[in-house]
Amino acid sequence: MVYETYNKITSEDEFMRMFRIYRTTHEMLKDRGYVVPEGFNTYNYFNRHCVRDGELVYVFMILLFLKNIYCLFLICINHLTKKSKELMMFQVQKEHYPGDRILVLFPDNKTIGINYMKDVCVRLRDLQIGKAIIVYPGTFTIQASKAVQSMNSTEESLYKVELFSERELVVNITHHEFVPKHIVLSTEEKRTLLRKYNIKETQLPRIQITDPISKYLGVKRGQVIKITRLSEVSGRYISYRICY
């Protein structure tokens, strides 16, 4: 009889895919103004700290049941390097606001249920962190989805949770050659913009909160994004959009 211990990430292709997701997540948080130490999103760091090696175990059992009759039971537990997504978990903080921290989790389960969300809340409470990003591989149950919606529905909620599917972060969309530079304006910069052009925020062009760039930057409703495009005619073209 042969028993096999299967790993969360078994193939080299899957390993590289998870590394790209891990790297994009760090880049995303850096673009949001969080402190991401140099080297934390490199392949070497990922390979050293986000991989748990499995054990090679061979157990040979020879049992003598009856005289002159031998039974040989071989239990071979295959050696596979375990690369558990849970080891990819990390937290970062804002450069000028150390109290603004965020926890990033990479669940192994294909389906995320309400029990996992309860565990996330316990982790956030124990770490005294108010925000989390969950990079999930599959789907959320209805109960888990409702729990996330409830947590994000009011400003008074203790915890805020953002959801990204793994496929959304395999590639950093902001690195695409046709995607212009996006910067989220501060509250004061937004006021200055409205005064400068003597307009109300309702007169600004809009960008949806579900837009991939809005989601990447973690933009909230009412915030303004500055978009800088390079133009062969004018050299540089700047526009603004308000998130709704």
What band does 47 get if pLDDT is binned at 50, 70 and 90? confident
pLDDT digits over 212-240, tens only? 999 999 999 999 999 999 887 778 899 99
Could you tell me the two tokens for 73? 């039971």
What are the angstrom distances between the C-alpha of 65 and each of 62, 68, 131?
10, 9, 60
What band does 16 get if pLDDT is binned at 50, 70 and 90? very high
Domains of the chain in sequence order: 2-49+83-169 (3.40.1340.10), 173-243 (3.90.940.20)
Phi-psi region of 51 (alpha: psi -120 to 50; beta: other; left: phi over 0): beta
pLDDT digits over 50-101, tens only? 865 433 233 233 333 344 443 333 222 233 334 578 889 999 999 889 899 9
Which pLDDT does position 77 carry in this prediction?
29
Non-local (6+) Cβ contacts of 169 within 8 A are 20, 21, 24, 25, 28, 135
Which pLDDT does position 155 carry in this prediction?
80
pLDDT digits over 159-209, tens only? 999 999 999 999 999 999 999 999 999 999 999 999 999 999 999 999 999
Which pLDDT does position 52 carry in this prediction?
56
Selected residue with higher pLDDT from 38 and 19? 19
Selected residue with higher pLDDT from 244 and 4? 244
Could you tell me the two tokens for 41? 């999103």
Q: What is the spatial distance between Cα 232 and Cα 30, in angstroms, rounded to a whole number?
A: 30
Evaluated on CA atoms 173, 178, 181, 187, the torsion sign reads negative
Which pLDDT does position 2 carry in this prediction?
37
pTM of the model: 0.80
Q: What is the mean pLDDT of residues 9-28?
A: 88
Which pLDDT does position 37 carry in this prediction?
85
Could you tell me the two tokens for 213? 């760039």
Which pLDDT does position 10 carry in this prediction?
54
pLDDT digits over 97-133, tens only? 989 999 999 999 999 999 999 999 999 999 999 999 9
Which pLDDT does position 174 carry in this prediction?
97
Q: Is 201 exposed, middle or buried (0-12, 13-18, 19+ CB in 10 A)?
A: middle
